[in-house]
Amino acid sequence: MCLSILCFLLQVLSICESPCGEVSFENTSSVVQTVAVISSTGSSVSSFTMAGGATEVKTLQSGKYVFSVWPAKENYSLLVGGCDSSAPDEPALPQSDFLFSVSPSQKVRFSPGNLQYQASTGTWRFAEHQYDYVGDATSGNVSEGGNPCDNSQMSASYSGWIDLFAWGTSGYNGKQPYMNSENYNDYGDGSNDIAATNYDWGVYATISNGNGYQWRTLTTQEWEYLFKTRSKSLYGHATVCGVKGIVLLPDNWQLPDGMTFISSPANYYERNVYDAGQWLQMEEHGAVFLPAAGMRRTDNVVLSPDEIGYYWTSSCYGVYGAMNIFFTYFSVNVGNTGWLDSNKTFRFEGSSVRLVR
């Protein structure tokens, strides 16, 4: 069982090696801080003791507890005891246990964030939050070592994180995630879909926080089904923690008490606006967020960050292209037919990658 400590603004610390133990964290603000304790498996935890003092612990729901910490002490220890592993399982990131239909016979779970890569260490990871994106020097919300990350600085030795990749650049067969060649045949195997091949990021890459699952990239047909065949009430434009994008809702969606959601075709990112606390409630009910992270050219210039989102599919197009989805403040574009526009692009353009399992 893992326990996560969320100190607003949503600082997350976790212990995973034992169901009971000690978690340390800091409160350096001048006001009382609200802290949520969430069990990733939903197992009940019967006791919490704060070294240094805390208000009475209050159980909100299975596996989640909230209390306040005094600002007079910077370092706190949370002692966790009385763990009951017989309680029903619930996931740490609720969307991991909510299903999205991508065909009449198949449902998937989304990864907890967009895919990111650090070249200096060869590390793949999912973004820490669904609304995280790298952008460039003037946009984005991802940092490393206190320095803002920047897709335009990508190289084989770059120590920051990048998240806009050319098609099929999983690292297999020399197709590195920092590639920016303008030769169409340099991507994937040069002519075929990357689905179920090592050129698919989810198939080949070892993702540090992927929990050992087999991930993959959706095909064009699956993205089409997700947006077109499922009810249009299950997605909509939104702004989450100041970041623009698209919210996807699971098949069995239930709106949290006290929340609102305006679905497609009600466009514009301002139609649904959520702060960190509100988005946490949406996540707990399975909501997925695709940030509008922009697109990277071969000269590494990032276009339209926080305005337009581009996401790869595993499907190629002709001898030079591949299929992706893209969305603007007024539309979502995917596939070849129907009321959503066709979307084909050059394989060397850098787009976001959101994996499923």
Q: pLDDT band at residue 265, thresholds of 50, 70 and 90? A: confident
pLDDT computed for residue 96 by the predictor: 52
- Predicted confidence at residue 313, as pLDDT, reads 97
- 68 and 32 in a common domain: yes
Task: Map residue 185 onto helix, strand or coil.
Answer: helix
Provide the pLDDT for residue 336.
54
Tell whether 204 and 302 lie within a shared domain: yes
pTM score of the predicted model: 0.74
pLDDT of 193 reads 96
Question: pLDDT digit string (tens) for 49-71?
Answer: 444 444 433 333 333 344 443 33
Mean pLDDT of 19-35: 42
Cβ neighbours for 8, distance < 8 A, ≥ 6 positions apart: 33, 34, 35, 276, 277
Per residue in 117-152, pLDDT (tens digit) is 999 999 999 999 999 999 999 999 999 999 999 999
The residue behind tokens 């029903």 is: 88
β-bridge partners, 239: 244, 273
Say yes or no: 211 and 262 in one domain: yes
Gap between the terminal Cα atoms of the chain = 21
Evaluate if residue 86 carries a pLDDT over 70. no
**Same domain, yes or no, for 106 and 78?**
no
How far, in Å, CA of 244 to CA of 18, rounded? 38
The C-alpha atoms of residue 167 and residue 169 are separated, in whole angstroms, by 6
Count up the domains in the chain and report the number. 2
Same domain for 30 and 160: no
Measured at the alpha carbon of residue 211, what is the angle toward residues 206 and 14, in degrees to the nearest 5? 120
Q: Which structural domain range is residue 172 located in?
A: 93-357
